[in-house]
């Protein structure tokens, strides 16, 4: 029922549960003070659950919890348990920066979460600390401990999301490639997108999918492309090392966009409904909820909004206009 004018069916919803974060990644957050949303402007668990149930009636079957950093949201396992209990939900995942994962993994697993994406752009402490502006210097260790604890508890699959940045992490690709082989986690390299809050994105900082495959094949081992079923909406190009040990994904949003098969919708922490990460407009679902809107009225508004969805992002267009809010507000 959530079909846009290009015939794309949308069954995947990303839900941002907070705009707050305990890291300051350069490709997302500003250096200085960040004005986070006041508590009252953030969707409550009841509101998120109501939106989730409503979206499932419209055909959504997969959900991913994001942020900011979702593990900063107090009581998150309660929300996870509520969403995991929604009849017909086929898949529930979470994307985290991993800093708090070691201490929260067990409660999230008990609440019904099974799938994790952990953001980790570098295994070199200096590069890591510089990229995420981690003043403690212990961040990388905490993330790795979090991944190991999640593996020990039984989360599957665990995917590592690594933003590939030319001139910053290009020397790290091989190390992360080897992690995929040694830790049995899928490492997904993400092309750098123009979503930083200071507007500093430069096209020459993009490490393309082709460059990433070449570097991994040269430095780790030959890669072969894995077959995916036609129409598979997954954003990642799937690879495995030719000897069968280790899986690699590449999200080539800039150089090989996959908007034609997009099935994703988003709800930001402030209740803004977005049909695309780069959308220049959004629907204020929070206002509809808090002004006494009925489920039927909200469903109608959401369905109508999806029909407005554009063909795809305009990053490669001459006149590219950045989305009005930074990544940590939009939700990953
Ligand atoms: S850029 Fe927008 S339309 Fe393209 S895949 Fe991402 S969310 Fe979908």
Lowest mean pLDDT among 90-104, 150-164, 167-181, 226-240: 226-240
What's the confidence (pLDDT) of residue 324? 85
What's the confidence (pLDDT) of residue 329? 86
Lowest mean pLDDT among 52-56, 71-75, 129-133, 323-327: 323-327
Q: Residue 118: pLDDT above 90?
A: yes
Q: Residue 326: pLDDT above 90?
A: no
Q: Residue 233: pLDDT above 90?
A: no
Q: Per-residue confidence at 331, pLDDT binned at 50, 70, 90?
A: confident
Whether ligand 1 lies within 6 angstroms of the CB of 13 is answered as no
What's the confidence (pLDDT) of residue 271? 97
Whether ligand 1 lies within 6 angstroms of the CB of 177 is answered as no
Q: Residue 138: pLDDT above 80?
A: yes
* CA 151 – CA 323 distance, rounded (Å): 36
* CA 272 – CA 285 distance, rounded (Å): 6
* Alpha carbon of 165 to ligand 1 centroid (Å): 20
Whether ligand 1 lies within 6 angstroms of the CB of 264 is answered as yes
What backbone phi and psi angles, to 5 degrees, belong to 292? 85, 20
* CA 142 – CA 157 distance, rounded (Å): 20
The residue-averaged pLDDT of 205-213 equals: 97
The residue-averaged pLDDT of 19-43 equals: 93
What's the confidence (pLDDT) of residue 36? 95
What's the confidence (pLDDT) of residue 171? 87
Residues with Cβ within 8 Å of 103's Cβ and at least 6 positions away in sequence, in order, are none
Q: Residue 121: pLDDT above 90?
A: yes
State the average pLDDT for the chain.
95
Q: Residue 98: pLDDT above 90?
A: yes
The residue-averaged pLDDT of 198-225 equals: 95
Partner residues linked to 118 by β-bridges? 96, 160
Per residue, the 3-state secondary structure of 45-97, as one string, reads HHHHHHHHHHHHHCCCCEEEEECCCHHHCCCHHHHHHHHHCCCCCCEEEEEEC
Q: What is the DSSP string of 87-135?
A: TT--EEEEEE-STTHHHHHHHHHHTT--EEEEE---SSHHHHHHHHT-T
What's the confidence (pLDDT) of residue 136? 83
Which is nearest to 102 in space by CA: 70, 67, 140, 148? Answer: 148
> In the structure encoding, which two tokens stand for residue 142, read together?
């905490």
What's the confidence (pLDDT) of residue 109? 98
User: Of 278, 309, 320, which is best to mutate to test ligand 1, by the most ligand atoms within 8 angstroms of its C-beta?
Assistant: 278
Q: What is the DSSP string of 158-192?
A: EEEEEEEBTTTTTTTHHHHHHHHHHS--EEEEEE-
Name the residue with tokens 């034609």. 260
CATH 3.40.50.300 fits 2-330, yes or no: no
Q: For the whole prediction, is pTM greater than 0.75?
A: yes
User: Of 5, 276, 311, which is best to mutate to test ligand 1, by the most ligand atoms within 8 angstroms of its C-beta?
Assistant: 276
Q: Residue 332: pLDDT above 80?
A: no
Q: Per-residue confidence at 77, pLDDT binned at 50, 70, 90?
A: very high
């Amino acid at each position: 029922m959530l079909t846009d004018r290009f015939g794309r069916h949308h069954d995947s919803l990303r839900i941002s549960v907070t705009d707050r974060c305990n890291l300051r990644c350069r490709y997302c957050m500003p250096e200085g003070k960040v004005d986070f949303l006041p508590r009252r402007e953030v969707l409550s668990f009841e509101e998120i659950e109501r939106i989730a149930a409503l979206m499932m009636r419209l055909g959504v079957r997969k959900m991913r919890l994001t942020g900011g950093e979702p593990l900063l949201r107090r009581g998150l396992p309660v929300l996870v348990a509520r969403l995991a209990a929604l009849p017909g939900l086929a898949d529930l995942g979470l994307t985290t920066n991993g800093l708090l994962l070691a201490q929260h993994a067990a409660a999230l697993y008990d609440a019904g979460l099974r799938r994790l994406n952990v953001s980790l752009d570098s295994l070199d402490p200096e590069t890591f600390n510089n990229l995420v502006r981690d003043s403690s210097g212990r961040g990388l260790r905490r993330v790795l401990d979090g991944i190991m604890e999640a593996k020990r508890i039984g989360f599957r699959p665990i995917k590592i999301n690594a933003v590939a940045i030319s001139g910053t992490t290009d020397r790290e690709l091989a190390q992360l490639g080897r992690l995929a082989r040694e830790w049995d986690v899928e490492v997904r390299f993400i092309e750098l997108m123009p979503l930083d809050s200071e507007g500093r994105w430069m096209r020459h900082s993009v490490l393309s999918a082709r460059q990433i495959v070449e570097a991994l094949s040269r430095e780790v081992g030959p890669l072969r492309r894995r077959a995916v079923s036609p129409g598979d909406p997954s954003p990642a190009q799937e690879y495995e090392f030719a000897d069968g040990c280790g899986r690699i994904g590449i999200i080539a949003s800039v150089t090989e966009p996959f908007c034609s098969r997009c099935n994703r919708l988003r709800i930001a922490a402030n209740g803004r409904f977005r049909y695309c990460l780069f959308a220049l407009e959004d629907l204020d679902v929070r206002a509809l909820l808090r002004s006494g809107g009925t489920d039927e009225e909200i469903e109608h508004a959401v369905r109508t909004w999806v029909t407005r969805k554009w063909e795809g992002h305009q990053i490669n267009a001459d006149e590219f206009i950045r989305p009005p809010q930074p990544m940590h507000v939009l939700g990953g």
